[in-house]
Structure 1
Amino acid sequence: MAVDVLMDKFCQSVATTLAMAETMRNNMRSSRKRKRLSDDASLLRLDGSEFLRGLQEARHDFCDVSLRGAADPTQTDVPWIACHRHVLMARSPWFRRMLRSQMKESQQDTIQLHNIPHDILEQLINYMYSCEITVDASNALGLLQAADFLELGQIVEVCKAFLRENIDLANCLTIYCGAQQLPFADLTAPCRAFALEHFASLCYAAEFLDLDANEICQLIASDELNVEKEEQVVDAVLRWLEHSSDTRMPHVTEMARHIRVPLLAAGYLASLPDSPVGQQLRAAVLSTGESTRALRSSYLSEMVCLWGYNTYSKGKQSGFAATLYRIDPPTSSRWSVGCATPPKSWSGPAVYAVQEGRLRVYVLADVEEAGDPCQLHVYDAGTNEWTELGTFPVPEAILTSVDDRLYLLGGGRVHAYDAEQRQLTARARIPVKRLNSAIVACGGRLYMFGGKMLSSRTDTYQATASAYCYDPASDAWKKLAPMPTARSHCRACVGHDGRIYVTGGYIGGDFNQTIDCVEAYDVQTNQWQSKRAMIVARAQHGLVRLQEQLYAVGGFTTHALGRLPTECYDSATDTWSECALQLPFEQCYMDCAAVQRHIAKKCMQRTDNAEVRD
């Protein structure tokens, strides 16, 4: 009975085909617009849609092979997919080679494909018959992997395009891992770029813990890694190691090499867990961590923030004129100027910070008489306004910061400032009273170099070479090796190699002789080393590090008149050179800093699905 039914269907199909052929012959005879190939022949091009309709109608007739993909763990009985060998060979080069080969599968009536999920295989087989398939977020990656295996080129291109346009936080790492198994650089590249851009969020995803060691290293080694703090990188590595510590600890040294130690806050490594994983990671970072690498790209939008007051204009004293100048010397030679005039003249140095995404500058106002209390002001670049934070009984104060906390040094001791309460807390006494020292923060400690001290013998001020270090954690001062050159009004800055560079200043007792001297202090060995002198001797200048270079800006000199050149120092070659970046005014008191800004980018827009039609 079943054979009779099949034969009836076959006869009906043949009859339909013959009827179509007869109709086409009649149309050919009656057509007046025929392309003549010879006296008694014409070329006829058939519409492919007719063939597809016929193929769909005969979809389950005379099938000679059945396929089945990998079963989902929740499925108990996976049905076979009936199809035709010649259709598979016509649509897929992979099936063509297999079914024409001497492989055992070429002779079997059933073929199991263990590397393709069954639902994905069924969608692709239906596509081979209908030339239509819908690509969406639920199947795009699976279709891509299976289509690449079966060599269905059009499906591959559509799936790649869909995935590129719909990368988001939920699927980025899944696509990234899947695409890395395939030779598709045009898909892995945007996935990797997205992962680097959104690393701070993706490192908490469950998929992040499933990445292999090589994939983790590729991400954290990149200059393009977008993190606000290097501590986020260490935290991510720690979570990855702890997820399967038995098998992942051999990779701890390899990963530690990509941690940029100078960017870590002081004391952070000591705060890591005392677990075996935490201890090994801490030791590996300290011994093999990257100590000379430049900042990551999320910090590359640094700006030099300059405060000057122009004391001379065309040879005449012009008084106070404070202005905020902002620029990125590696990419620009033009100055961006503008800020509201401060309520009073200021006494440097200033403290610069990016808080809540906005630049803020903290300064102390100048006092009319020595011994007067100081006033703390803050400038908000977002609102272009100044705000007075309070008046404090700290005479001859110097403002500085360590790990984003403000400190006032004056009145013979250190004072810590509480920003929320707007209050000062007295801390350790300063070992020796001095003025006009170079002060810089490094590794969570405060370093003070040089300055001028009142001589009890002559009752005059003399430059000093002494140096001290203050540790806020222990609230204690420590005496350091003195500078080779005694001086005041010098400037200090931490180089990319971790050393503290002290430049310029005044020598002698009259403070009218500027020097070009440069000396580097090694915080690890407590030793000094002389470096190449600046091109122009200067004092009260700005000194700032951008990337791997130091910039000396503005200041005063006793060796020349007019505008001072901006100098750039390369510690790798120990050389100074003039750069195109020039001040828009003549000699002036300067203070500057490198301000790091976080770069935020928008995610790609999603599309719901894409349809493929041959």
Structure 2
Amino acid sequence: MARPFLSPALSFAILLAAAPAGAHEVGAWAGASSAPAERSEVAVAALDGKAYVIGDYNGATDLLIYDLAADSWSKGAPFPYPVHHTMAAEKGGRIYVFGGYVNGWEASDRVWAYDPKTNAWEARAPMPTPRAAGGATLVGEKIHVVGGSGSGRGNVRSHEVYDPAGNAWSKAADLPTPRDHLAVQTVEGRIVASGGRIDGDSGKNLAANQVYDPATDAWSEAAPLPTARSGVASAVLGREVLVIGGESNRRTYDEVEAFDLPANLWRALARLPTARHGFGAVTYKGRIYTLTGSPRPGGDRSGTVEVLDPKGAAPAR
């Protein structure tokens, strides 16, 4: 059973979440070079100053590589097959890609590692639980894969841990609120799982926000996401998780909300210029880069890249 998390601050956090978002917005956005191909329902991971965009709802397999310092794009070896709603994380100079939907809406258990030095993909040990639209995040030397959906889009609670060095899997405490299309990030050695939806239905978005402590193998409840949504991008800056954009069955979101884990508080930042979902975000030199995604609910796509400077000054170009 989940134990209370930072309960003394919870009531204040709820009051903050209920306040008008515009009163708390900070930061400034700027545009950057568009991707060479439009994408949505991608996984995005960063390594050595580059962001890697993997997968596509419409079946494209080219690996898109964005040089964050140079604001320029290139392509790497194509992913071995069409995949969408996959999950990715970096460890040890490689990008690891987990599951996703293949052959339409069949959840995959396959795992691949991309090595930028050889520009090649290598198959790795499959996940114990096939899934898509979950989250993958690095904690120490291991990658945690949390939540998501199986074939038929029914949610899975599974929380499984991949050891890249041993190419082996182990199990961890299940996600208390099963969901997909959620944000999963690591802050100060703990995992934050925010938002998402029930059984792939964007009309059933959630404000759930739960924190996993590897030291105790236990989840706890945290201040809820102020704007319930799914299909978000997310990134970490300092001790905050930024939850960006997303969708419902009626619209896409431009909300940008940041969760301060130690304080158990949310704050609003400047709104995303292009509301969208099915995209990714990475942090580079104190700024948040958002890449591709769909500006309309469902299966649209774009090559949009927009950059947030949370200190309020537009990034220099």
TM-score (norm 2): 0.72
Helix, strand or coil: the match of 1:392?
coil
The counterpart of 1:482, out of the listed 210, 217, 224, is 224
Relative to structure 1, the CA distance from residue 413 to residue 493 in structure 2 (aligned partners, 3 Å threshold; closer, same or farther) is same
Q: Which residue of 1 aligns with 2:110?
A: 375
Q: Which of residues 547, 558, 572 is equivalent to 2:296?
A: 558
**1:505 corresponds to which residue?**
246
Instruction: Please tell me the residue identity of whatever aligns with 1:386.
Output: W
C-alpha RMSD of matched pairs (Å)? 2.9
Distance in 2 separating the partners of 1:566 and 1:451:
23
Query: Alpha carbons of 1:368 and 1:471: their partners in 2 closer, same or farther (altered >3 Å)?
Result: farther
Question: Which structure carries more strand by proportion?
Answer: 2
> Residue 306 of structure 1 corresponds to which residue in structure 2?
53
- Which residue pairs with 1:394 in the alignment? 129
CA 1:519 to 1:380, structure 2 compared with 1: closer, same or farther past 3 Å?
same
Q: Computing the radius of gyration over CA atoms, which structure comes out larger, 1 or 2? A: 1
Letter in 1 for 2:206: T
| Offset at residue 388 of structure 1 (A) | 1.5
How far apart in 2 are the matches of 1:372 and 1:553?
24
| Map 1:193-592 → 2, pairs under 5 A | 302-309=49-56, 311=58, 319-329=59-69, 332-345=70-83, 347-353=85-91, 355=92, 358-368=93-103, 374-396=109-131, 398=134, 399-410=136-147, 411-454=156-199, 461-495=203-237, 497-507=238-248, 510=249, 512-558=250-296, 563-573=302-312
CA shift digits 1:200-221 (9 cap, x unpaired): xxxxxxxxxxxxxxxxxxxxxx
Change in Cα spacing, 1:462 to 1:421, as seen in structure 2 (3 Å) is: same
CA separation in 2, counterparts of 1:393 and 1:370?
18
Identity of aligned residues (%): 26
Q: Secondary structure at the match of 2:227?
A: coil
Equivalent in the alignment of 1:585: none
Larger relative contact order (C-alpha < 8 A, sep ≥ 6)? 2
- Asked if 2 retains the 8 angstrom alpha-carbon contact of 1:454 and 1:461, the reply is no
Amino acid at match of 1:517: E
The secondary structure found in structure 2 opposite 1:536 is coil
Q: Distance in 1 between matches of 2:117 and 2:199?
A: 42
- Measured after TM superposition, the shift of residue 344 of structure 1 is 5.0
State the distance in 1 between where 2:279 and 2:204 align.
Answer: 20
Cα distance in 1 between the residues matched to 2:128 and 2:301: 38
Q: Is the 8 A contact 2:54 2:61 kept in 1?
A: no
Q: CA deviation at 1:371?
A: 7.7
Unaligned stretches of 5+ residues in structure 1: 1-299, 312-318, 581-614
Distance 1:360 1:533, change over 3 A: closer
d(CA) in 1 for partners of 2:104, 2:252: 27
Q: Secondary structure at the match of 2:114?
A: strand
Describe the shift of the 1:373–1:548 C-alpha distance in structure 2 as closer, same or farther (beyond 3 A).
closer
One-letter amino acid matched to 1:537: A
Are the structure 2 counterparts of residues 324 and 553 from structure 1 closer, same or farther at C-alpha, using a change threshold of 3 Å?
closer
Q: Which runs of 4+ in 1 moved over 4 A?
A: 367-373, 561-564
TM superposition shift of 1:556: 0.7
CA drift of 1:347 comes to 3.7
TM-score, normalising length from structure 1? 0.39
